[in-house]
Each structure stands twice: as structure tokens, then as C-alpha cells.
Amino acid sequence: MPLVWLPDWSCSLDGLRDFIAAGIQSFRDCDGGALLAVGCLLLLFVWYCYHVGREQPRAYPAVNALMQGAEANGVQNGFVYCHAPECARCSPHDGLNQKLYHNLQEYAKRYSWSGMGRIHKGIREQGRYLNSRPSIQKPEVFFLPDLPTAPYFSRDAQKHDVEVLERNFQTILCEFESLYKAFSNCSLPQGWKMNSTPSGEWFTFYLVNQGMCVPRNCRRCPRTYRLLGSLRTCIGNNVFGNACISVLSPGTVIAEHYGPTNIRIRCHLGLKTPSNCELVVGGEPQCWAEGRCLLFDDSFLHTAFHEGPPEEGPRVVFMVDLWHPNVAAAERQALDFIFAPGR
């Protein structure tokens, strides 16, 4: 190395030595107790991050019991359970929270843990949340903590989708009327399902059933099915998403029951609304109106009834599940992955 560079190296070393000396002196000038406290806090933070990332969810037997139905005759909370193996709410699931945690870990490996704190907290403490909820609100499969709760939501909660549905009221009504002509026969028409009720008859015609499209039914209601694609908050990719036409015959009472989760709000678009028909959610009664949407949280205890005269015909609504407005976009993506049909 030419000697002309030696003065520059000497200056650089002197500067580095002065910098190190200043750092050591600053450390000596600090209060020892404060430094110890900062060190302890740093160690606690590192331990907490490791613990949260590695901790398995707590096993609560009551979570599985909720999924199975408490009575041998299949009645729980006054509601008849179907016990179908494909039903997310009614079918038995052993080790549910461990399965959900595994799905969350798989999602985080593929994408990110960012924004997953509330879901991780919910899965880890799921049994405690479900068991400690007040009787007015008890989602039966999954509870996401820290969501604002109310039996009913204003139309502004999902304003865009409400306006789209109401603008297309006549389209949906026309397709329903075409379907309903098949009820002139005594047997249950193809595509319709009869649900258990204490009295009367409750029929549903699903376009999307627990996140799965029903192709044959969608072909019979093509415009209504296409309409679902224009909704911004429709739940269409996980087991908590449904879209169907719901029909209550005069004299029908739906037993009080809870929905499976609080991550959604259920939207009813009134198609035919005779007198003496009511929806009661969390003890608060509301009436449907033709061409208008009614939004509610079905994780609250709720019931519906049609006490109108037979000559007024059935109560008919188009039902679609929308995301709760306070579930963030990252959480929606993760929940679609965790609760994907068949997962």
C-alpha cells in the first residue's frame, strides 16, 4: 500500500476509537437500574413473541359438544339439528380448535402472520369465548373476539350491497315466482329443501350452500346467481356463506336458535311480506318489507314466524350472508382459507 494512504487510515482509526470510547462512556453514565429494566423488558418481549407463535390452542371439550348436539334426539337450543356430515354447524367435529389452529398455521406459512392477531386469539381461546358468552349471543362454531355486536345493523353497514340487491328486487322476485309454480304439485319440487320447524312449513332453495355453489339451482335462477358476483361483501368461499330463497308458509314458527359465527351479517331482502310476520333477534322484533333489506347478526338468539292468514300466502325473502363490516380484508382472506369447504 503506498505510504500516502497511511495518514488517512490513521484518521479513520482515531475516529473509530473516539466513537467507541464515547459509547462506553454513555453506557457508564446511564443509571444501572434503568438499564436492567430495559434489558428485562426486551427479554420478556422476545419470550412472549416466541410463546405466542408456538402455543397450541387450549383444548375445551365443550367446543366439540357444541358441534355434536346435546340431546340424543338431535334437538339443541330448541332447534332440530340435521347431523349431515357436510353441515358445518350440525355435524360433529372432534378437536375443532386444534384443526382451526393447524389451518391458521398453514395459512401463515403461505402468506403472513400480519393481521392475524385477532384470529389467533379467537382460536386459542375459542372454548372460553363460546362458554362464557351471554345467552343472548352464542355462535355455535366460531367466535371472533373484539367485533362490535348488535342484533341488527343499519343499511349503511354494507350500503353498496344493500343498494344492489334492492335495485334488483324485481329480477329476484320474477325468478322466485317462476320456481314457485312447481309447488302446485303435492311433492317437494326438485332443488327445494324442507327444514324442521315446530309448526308449519319452511322451505329453502339454495344457490350457495355453506360456501358451495349448487349448479342445478343456479341454472334455474341465472340472473340472481350472477347478481351475487356484483356484491362486494358476499361470503362465497367459506362454510359460513349462504345464498338462498327462504319461504315460510302461514302458521309457521321457526324455533329459537343461534347461527354458527359472528363474522357475518345476514341480509334478508323482502320478496313477499304478508301481515303478521316477524323476525325476532336478541329479543328485538322487526318486520320485513318488500324490496327492502334487513340486516342482522344471526349469532344472536333469533326466531321467525308467519301468523298471517292462509289467503295472504307465504313470507318470502332472498337471504345472503355478508361479511361483518369490522372484519378486515386480511382477516377475510385468512378465514376463507381456514374455513374453506371440505378443509
What residues have CB less than 8 Å from 78, skipping those under 6 apart?
Answer: 255, 256, 257
Q: How far apart are CA 288 and CA 314, in angstroms?
A: 13
pLDDT of residue 100: 92
39 confidence band (pLDDT: 50, 70, 90): confident
pLDDT of residue 77: 37
- Reported as a single tens digit per residue, the pLDDT across 227-244 is 999 999 999 999 999 999
- Would the pLDDT of 293 be above 60? yes
74 confidence band (pLDDT: 50, 70, 90): very low
pLDDT of residue 68: 37
pLDDT of residue 233: 97
- Reported as a single tens digit per residue, the pLDDT across 251-278 is 999 999 999 999 999 999 999 999 999 9
75 confidence band (pLDDT: 50, 70, 90): very low
Q: Work out the end-to-end distance of the chain between its first and last CA atoms, rounded to an integer number of angstroms.
A: 67
Q: Please give the CATH topology (third level) of the domain spanning 149-328.
A: Jelly Rolls (2.60.120)
Please, are residues 147 and 262 in contact by the beta-carbon 8 Å criterion?
yes
Q: How far apart are CA 105 and CA 112, in angstroms?
A: 9
- Coil, strand, or helix at residue 64? helix
pLDDT of residue 98: 87
The domain locations on the chain are 149-328
- Would the pLDDT of 182 be above 90? no
- Would the pLDDT of 4 be above 70? no
The mean pLDDT of 139-147, rounded to a whole number, is 93
Phi, psi of 3, deg, nearest 5: -65, -25
Give 316's DSSP letter.
E
87 confidence band (pLDDT: 50, 70, 90): low
Q: How far apart are CA 319 and CA 193, in angstroms?
A: 15
Please give the angle made by the CA atoms of 184, 185 and 189, to the nearest 5 degrees: 100
225 is written with which cell numbers? 346467481
- Coil, strand, or helix at residue 30? coil
* Nearest by Cα to 246 from 322, 163, 172: 172
Average model confidence (pLDDT) for the chain? 83
pLDDT of residue 277: 96
